[in-house]
Amino acid sequence: MALLITKDCICCDICVPECPNEAITLGRKVCEIDVNKCTECVGHYEEPQCKQVCPMDCIVNHPDFVETSLQLMEKFIRLSESKA
């Protein structure tokens, strides 16, 4: 499933460069995750890097975008092919 940054975000932007899919951007009040690019770091790392560096612990599973590990891997492959 894609991840979601909650309203508790302080927009410190520490998560932005950690995302290997460039799915995180600075929003008006909080950082935002593009659900079409977020693979929870599947294909890159074992754990979502944004969650590991977030000082506010405000990155959660997105309730509206539930994906299996296989779906996340397929998204990773699709994104990798589009970069090539």
pLDDT at 31: 97
CA distance 11 to 81: 30
> Any idea where the domains of the chain sit in the sequence?
3-83
- Cβ neighbors of 81 (< 8 A, separation 6 or more) are none
pLDDT reading at 27 higher than 80: yes
CA distance 44 to 19: 10
pLDDT at 18: 98
Contact 51, 1 (CB under 8 A): no
- pLDDT tens-digit profile of 45-72? 999 999 999 999 999 999 999 999 999 9
pTM: predicted TM-score of the whole model, two decimal places: 0.91
User: Locate tokens 């405000």: which residue?
Assistant: 58
The hierarchical CATH code for the domain 3-83 is 3.30.70.20
